Structure 1
Amino acid sequence: MINIVLDVMAGDEGVEANINGALASLDGTFTVFLVGDENVIQHQISQKKNKFPESIKIIHAESSISMDAKIAEFRSDRSSSIYHGLKQINEHKADAFISIGNSGAIFANALKVLGRMPGISRPGFAIPIPSINGTRILIDGGANADSKTENYLHFALLGAQYYQSVFKKINPKIGLLSIGSESTKGNQLTLEAYKLLEIHCPNFIGNVEGTDLTNALDVDVVVTDGFTGNIALKSIEGLAELIKANLLKESQSSLISKIGLLLLKPSIKKIYKRLDYRQYGAVPLLGVNGLVYVGHGRSDSSAVENAINAAVQSVRNDLFSSLEQSIVSTSNN
């Protein structure tokens, strides 16, 4: 039986959204361990179910880490729901951990409790980005503000293996985010990273620009440092919100616009769905010794449900073993 650990104390929507998402995900093929205040969890479930679900277990945690907590506040905290949840992975009592909480706290605790995969210098967030031709991965999406050359190589290897496992594409193509497509463009770090990726990644296609993140370019995994990656990600999210707002505003400007919107509504709904972070549920922190997923702070029950399903699928696909093997294979070459 697959065991998934969910930190129910995290996220802007609170405990109820996390529990609703967990209950909606259950299909009898896996168990969800809810980590948090046991009394609160019991009360929430009793209001929704006459009988306590067999596929739900509770792990009590005395505290939770707020979204705006500073690193000094959680560095040595061993009472939090994040820490207790990650311990289940470390002690091989569960297969994957999910939290909609403070990404910095999850990153720091994952390093402390699980450690890095052998051969990995720094873990990174792998973020799915919708493009004209499908979905591609951006890594690192914000785990590391500062990166070294070798981090870029490890991001590329982890991202490519994750893409292959999740999207079922053999030998996905890798690009390096820079300020121009030419190999001579970029700062000193990206120039050095280019040379390293060119040597160790047979499917490296070279530099890609910011516009290539969502266009029709044939690239699957885009590699960058966490600082740049997070800015790029937030810019895409902001642009998506702008498009949605303008569509709504313009649709109200005239009768013709309203009719046009009505005719286009099915297509627009499909576009909105592709741009909706809730469809992906949560993103993996690749490079730690276990499967760790981090969700958007605004995640609702639907996003939580999708996060659990994504984690379950990764366990079934034996994602962690494939990640390990990809690093070992490169190290031996």
Structure 2
Amino acid sequence: MKIKELFEKKRFVFSFEIFPPKPTTPLERIYNTLDELKGLKPDFISVTYGAGGSTRDRTPQIAIDVKNNYGIESLAHLTCIEATREETCDLINFLIGNGVHNILALRGDLPQGQSAPKGDFRHAVDLVSFLREKYGQAISIGGAAYPEGHIECEDPIKDLRYLKQKVDAGVDFLITQLFFDNELFYRFMERADIAGINVPISAGIMPVVNKNQIERIVTLCGASLPQKFVRILHRYADEPRSLEEAGIAYATDQIVDLIAFGVRGIHLYTMNKAHVARRIVSNVSTLRETMHGPKGEEALYEGR
């Protein structure tokens, strides 16, 4: 099933993100994680390219295995930086030929020291346009959204305009960058609605379970940290088990509040930590079951 169809049929979509192990790490490690995640019954699992595309060769095979070996809808990340049209078609054809019809179209990170993209695509919108023209409705295309604006774009209005261009080019659904302040997400949703962005938007949530993790996150994506979150970090920075518990609790509170708002989906950045995902799913299981019925007039936030 295409992810577009999942959003059409369900009021609420719950999904996970995993990343391939480093090339020096046995591939079996990710399958051990998937063995545990399968029992949590996500609607789909996305597979990243890894930092800087370092694990891109492993992404297609893992995405195919998620679909065919685990029976879970799979979303393959595809970055276009330095990619050619021919290479892109080869990869998409390989995925389609093996049952994967969902693509998250991304620009990707610029290589260190490089100031502009190389290859046939400069921006994600170029990749989206190409995929939609080439493959039509044979694939479902997702895109990235940034509640606080992209780190490389200082003007949030311009950033929203770029997002609308991606949707107009053929994006079926959006998954947001992680955020820790729900109010920022709600304001983003209001602006997106005004801008005419009318595809489902899934909120990206990452449970922070160690101090180094949050430092990397802030550096890479510029997510702001509300005072409540900062207090947790200061209190438990040197107590790893307590910080993990607090991080799970904070992410759970975010998700409960988002579901009350009527968000169309939650995309949980699992960081390949199945036990953390299990705790969060257990915490929100009752709400998830309530929301997981077919989409209809009772949907809480029909505009998304």
Please give the TM-score of this superposition, normalised by the length of structure 1.
0.33
Greater Rg, structure 1 or structure 2?
1
TM-score (norm 2): 0.35
